[in-house]
Structure 1
């Protein structure tokens, strides 16, 4: 594995760290390729069921595409940064288990798009978000223009994307962009606990439920309901009454412990 990306595995959880802290974890061509390849490999690893994605250091999750590298190359932006590269957002999206984004600092433009590829976002108090595509003079190609408006509403999405302004962690939480904000020192431990909670559900339900949510989200509400009826109808016939009864006590005890 390239040293621009670190991977640690333990107990079904892989922690993937973008490791260019001196460059604010900017997405160089090497890092983009490593990120895409790593998620392809994690999907092929049956032992890895949840991924935590974060950045090295305190300043940046990732500052997006490495503009210094792009500015020094020949040709146009598309040939340098999109067509010839493996797409890390697509590879992240193909991972069948949950991906938890541990947003430790700024997530800017392409870095914002990497964050939006995750399933759950937990933000450090240091986190900030900005879509500066329009300030660079390019348009997004990893889904931001469509995902952001669906997540926070079209008016807020237009405000962010058409100004290039930053929002902090608290405002991101208020707008529903992140699940919650935690002290920086507690970011990874919070994400690991969340990953552990996810691993404690019925194993086959973890990827199946994620896939059901994602499939329905990409459809109209009516089509999504039809999808749920079809998928649940097929899956639930395989669950026995005895299995439900065995799991009921575990749910009851969990409810008591979390009261």
Structure 2
């Protein structure tokens, strides 16, 4: 396997994970997919890490599945099973994942971006779904996630044309939270990740799971599930812990003024 095709930097409770095949626009070769799965499974077991920033080196976040390799090996769908199922590896990661989309996020790369909990984009970011043009059916969730984020009509426009979506429009449509100048993207993502890790760890992990689980339920059932989990958690909360938390929140608010 090629060395350093993915890089991991640990910054306190935050891990910065960088796809590192810039000459190939970080195309998702079998080796890189294997490494992504391995890294997220490894970080899942790391007690020190409570948030991940996922980004790419060079001009692309990732241009998607390595079609050159696919043509040589017969791989087509991109929905690998077993040990290199990146959707499963990232989906089972219990802490927040911030996608810092630095450039092209195309087809499988678009799907990888949608596996993240929050998306921040560089002004150079561009999204495209070319599944219908290259003859591959999405297998990592794009057909279901994208319409829920930006609406069915807009999702169909992107998927049925294969056209690029620029960063500013992606922000306006609600696909990304914010757009930054290229050199400000990673610092902003790192800062947000540290803000997330400053929350109560039990709440942070439990809140992510509650949102994700509820998203897959009918709305009425999700509301009932929230009540159930809230009541279960309340049983472990004391008046003293609430007061201590209130003081911390107040102090943080004063510091932001």
1:51 — aligned with what? 52
Q: What's the TM-score once normalised by structure 1's chain length? A: 0.95
2:137 — aligned with what? 139
Q: CA deviation at 1:131?
A: 0.4
Q: Residues 41-70 of structure 1: CA distance to partner in whole angstroms, max 9, x if unpaired?
A: 11011111101100001x100000001111
Q: Residues 4-59 of structure 1: CA distance to partner in whole angstroms, max 9, x if unpaired?
A: 111111211111100000000000000000101110111011111101100001x1
For residues 53-132 of structure 1, what are the structure 2 equivalents within 5 Å? 53-57=54-58, 59-73=59-73, 75=74, 77-78=76-77, 82-83=80-81, 86-132=84-130
Unaligned runs of 5+ in 1: none
Q: C-alpha separation between the residues in 2 aligned to 1:123 and 1:188?
A: 9
1:12 — aligned with what? 13
From 139, 153, 156, give the equivalent of 1:158: 156
Give 3-state SS (helix, strand or coil) of 1:82's partner. Answer: coil
Q: C-alpha separation between the residues in 1 aligned to 2:155 and 2:26?
A: 24
Q: C-alpha separation between the residues in 1 aligned to 2:27 and 2:190?
A: 24
Contact 1:70 1:81 in 2 (8 A): no
Q: C-alpha separation between the residues in 2 aligned to 1:81 and 1:101?
A: 20
Alignment CA distance shift 1:5-1:138 (3 Å): same
Misfit runs of 4+, over 4 Å: none
Q: C-alpha separation between the residues in 2 aligned to 1:252 and 1:14?
A: 28
Q: CA deviation at 1:214?
A: 0.5
Unaligned runs of 5+ in 2: none
Q: Residues 70-123 of structure 1: CA distance to partner in whole angstroms, max 9, x if unpaired?
A: 1122x4624x86347611121011110000000000100000000000001010
Give 3-state SS (helix, strand or coil) of 1:45's partner. Answer: coil
Alignment CA distance shift 1:240-1:36 (3 Å): same
Give yes or no for the alignment of 1:22 onto 2:23. Answer: yes
Q: CA deviation at 1:258?
A: 2.6
Q: C-alpha separation between the residues in 2 aligned to 1:70 and 1:81?
A: 12
Give yes or no for the alignment of 1:3 onto 2:4. Answer: yes
2:42 — aligned with what? 41
Q: What's the TM-score once normalised by structure 2's chain length? A: 0.96
Q: C-alpha separation between the residues in 1 aligned to 2:238 and 2:191?
A: 30
